[in-house]
Amino acid sequence: MAIKVSSASGATMSSGVHRRPRLMLRPIRPEDIGTIIRKHKTYPSPVRIVGCDYSQARCVGGDGGTLVDTSALDKILEFGEGFVRAQAGVRIGTLVRALAERGFELPLTPEIANISLGAVAVTTLPQASFQDGLAQMSACVMAMKIVTPQGKELTVTQREAELLRVLRSSFGLLGVVHEVTLRVVPLRPVKIDYRAYSLEEFTARYAEISAAPGALRLHLAPFSDRVTVERRTFDVGHTTSRSGIWQIRNSVMRNVLPAFGASVGSVLATPGLRNAILTGVHKALGATQAPAARGVVVYAHEWMRDLPAEPWKARYTKSLWAFAAAGYPRVLADYFAFCRGYFKEHRYRPNVVTAASRMHRDRSSLFSVSYNEPMLSLEPSSDGAQGWADFLIDFNDFAASLGGVPTFNQSRALKAEHIEKAFGERARLFKALRRRTDALNRLDNSYFANLLG
Ligand SMILES: Cc1cc2nc3c(=O)[nH]c(=O)nc-3n(C[C@H](O)[C@H](O)[C@H](O)COP(=O)(O)OP(=O)(O)OC[C@H]3O[C@@H](n4cnc5c(N)ncnc54)[C@H](O)[C@@H]3O)c2cc1C
How far is ligand 1, taken at its centre, from the CA of residue 302, in Å?
A: 20
How far is ligand 1, taken at its centre, from the CA of residue 171, in Å?
A: 10
| Phi-psi category of residue 275: left, alpha or beta, with phi > 0 → left and psi -120 to 50 → alpha | alpha
**What percent of the chain stands above pLDDT 90?**
70
- Among 276-280, 342-346, 362-366, the minimum mean pLDDT is found in 276-280
Question: 330-338 long-range contacts, Cβ below 8 Å, gap at least 24?
Answer: 331/376, 331/378, 331/402, 331/404, 332/199, 332/202, 332/203, 332/220, 332/227, 333/199, 333/203, 334/398, 334/402, 335/220, 335/222, 335/378, 335/398, 336/199, 336/220, 336/222, 336/225, 338/394, 338/395, 338/398
Q: Is residue 369's pLDDT more than 50? A: yes
- Rounded (10°) angle between helices 257-266 and 271-287: 170
Q: Which residue has the higher pLDDT, 302 or 107?
A: 107
Confidence of residue 238 (pLDDT cuts 50, 70, 90): low
How far is ligand 1, taken at its centre, from the CA of residue 412, in Å?
A: 13
- Residue 58 beta carbon below 6 angstroms from any ligand 1 atom: no
Q: What is the pLDDT of residues 95-145, one digit of tens each?
A: 999 999 999 999 999 989 999 999 999 999 999 999 999 999 999 999 999
Give the mutation target among 115, 177, 178 for probing the ligand 1 site: most ligand atoms within 8 A of CB.
115
- Residue 95 beta carbon below 6 angstroms from any ligand 1 atom: no
Q: Is residue 337's pLDDT more than 50? A: yes
Sequence-separated (6 or more) residues with CB below 8 Å from residue 209: 202, 216, 229
How far is ligand 1, taken at its centre, from the CA of residue 100, in Å?
A: 22
Question: 265-269 long-range contacts, Cβ below 8 Å, gap at least 24?
Answer: 265/315, 265/383, 265/384, 265/385
pLDDT of residue 270: 36
- Residue 265 beta carbon below 6 angstroms from any ligand 1 atom: no
How far is ligand 1, taken at its centre, from the CA of residue 340, in Å?
A: 30
Q: Is residue 414's pLDDT more than 90? A: yes
Closest residue to atom 11 of ligand 1, CA basis: 125
Helices (H) and strands (E) in the chain, counts: 15, 22
- Residue 125 beta carbon below 6 angstroms from any ligand 1 atom: yes
Q: What is the pLDDT of residues 172-203, one digit of tens each?
A: 999 999 999 999 999 999 988 889 999 999 99
- Residue 119 beta carbon below 6 angstroms from any ligand 1 atom: yes
How far is ligand 1, taken at its centre, from the CA of residue 200, in Å?
A: 35
Provide mean pLDDT across the span 304-329. 85
Q: Which residue has the higher pLDDT, 306 or 127?
A: 127
How far is ligand 1, taken at its centre, from the CA of residue 380, in Å?
A: 17
Sequence-separated (6 or more) residues with CB below 8 Å from residue 35: 1, 2, 151
Provide mean pLDDT across the span 384-400. 93
- Residue 51 beta carbon below 6 angstroms from any ligand 1 atom: yes
- Residue 54 beta carbon below 6 angstroms from any ligand 1 atom: yes
